Amino acid sequence: MEQELAGVEALRVAVIGARRTRNGTGGFLALMSAKLGAKLVGVVGTQPDTARQAAEALAAEGIQVAAFAEAENLFAEAAPDLLILAAPAAAHRAWLHAALDGGAHVLCEKPLAAGSADEARALAQRFAAAGLVLAENCQWPFVLPAFRELHPNFDLALAGRFRMLLAPPQRGLERWSEVLSHPLSLLQAVLPGPAALSEVRYAESAPEAPDARLDFSWHARGRVLQCEVMAEDLGRWPRPAEFAFDDALCRRRVHQKDYRIRYEAEVPAPGQRVNSVAPGDPMEACLRDFFARVLRARARGSAPVDEDLVRRQALLEQLLDAWRAQRRV
């Protein structure tokens, strides 16, 4: 076991929304938790049948775990130390408060969906005051090492443009609520600290159109990045995704059979081999980072407020408010 995860075997993990559906991450996160050495003590579904199906799917992988449909039963019988919250966003708020009441750390699938930015900050402060880690499952910052390997001579400090392509199946406001934590977390990783947005503009023919674009300017550390986020449902699985700073591209390619991930520096022509790297699954890297933060909090008896998470909720709120305002015009 690596030093950063020393003691991980003592962590008792429950996964909320662990049934593996077409777009869900819960099943993968449950398997990864066990792979990293934590003790999986419960899976939760919205109904007893879905909880049982999640447990059966894990049993087929050699992992025996109890199934629950109620928070009260989960905490009373399984006593988890932490929750991985992979249920739909509408369920997040109730589970976040249940975790606080139960004394559990939380890794929450994006978006946090805690209400307003003020409510998100208050919630983060309550977790910190209880010595609990509250984190959001933002994987793309963990792809930056692959970007740097693909573009060793590119200086991120000199970049002037950023763009990202994602392929969410949702439409309208839900589409943006689901995807915007990805580019926001990447931008925070490149230009950390407080940030401001300006010139926010959406381009979509209709809320139900399969493709849409968001443009905005990102101001941080005395720099400005011109940003573009493309959301385009291409009807392909695994869903394509890529980002670029200036013309330096990092394109995700997922091998469907075993979900192996590679990143490419350009879009290949048919039959063409291009420069690519395979650093591992960023979702596992994000989960590893969360476990390490939990172990540090347990050792110290305290957990700081995650300022990046709090700032990201405020930026997300601003962008979603801009979408609502533009639709009203």
pLDDT (tens digit per residue) in 191-206: 999 999 999 999 988 8
CA dihedral over 19, 23, 29, 32, signed as positive or negative = positive
Tell me what pLDDT residue 22 has.
45
Q: 142: number of CA atoms within 13 Å, CB side?
A: 17
Taking the C-alpha atoms of residue 51 and residue 208, their distance in angstroms, rounded to an integer, is 32
**Domains, the chain, with CATH or none:** 3-137+284-304 (3.40.50.720), 140-283+316-328 (3.30.360)
Which range, 30-34, 43-47, 230-234, is most confident?
Answer: 30-34
Q: What is the pTM of this model?
A: 0.93
Mean model confidence pLDDT for the chain: 92
Helix ranges restricted to H, the chain: 26-35, 48-59, 71-78, 92-102, 117-129, 144-150, 172-179, 181-190, 282-300, 307-328
- Contact yes or no for 149/279 (Cβ under 8 A): yes
pLDDT (tens digit per residue) in 59-84: 999 999 999 988 999 999 999 999 99
- Contact yes or no for 304/127 (Cβ under 8 A): no
Supply the DSSP symbol for 152.
Answer: T
Tell me what pLDDT residue 1 has.
42
Angle at 168 between CA 166 and CA 174, to 5 degrees: 120
Q: Which positions ≥6 away from 206 have C-beta within 8 Å?
A: none
- Contact yes or no for 36/291 (Cβ under 8 A): yes
Supply the DSSP symbol for 109.
Answer: P
Q: Which positions ≥6 away from 219 have C-beta within 8 Å?
A: 195, 196, 197, 198
Going by pLDDT thresholds of 50, 70 and 90, the confidence category of residue 264 is very high
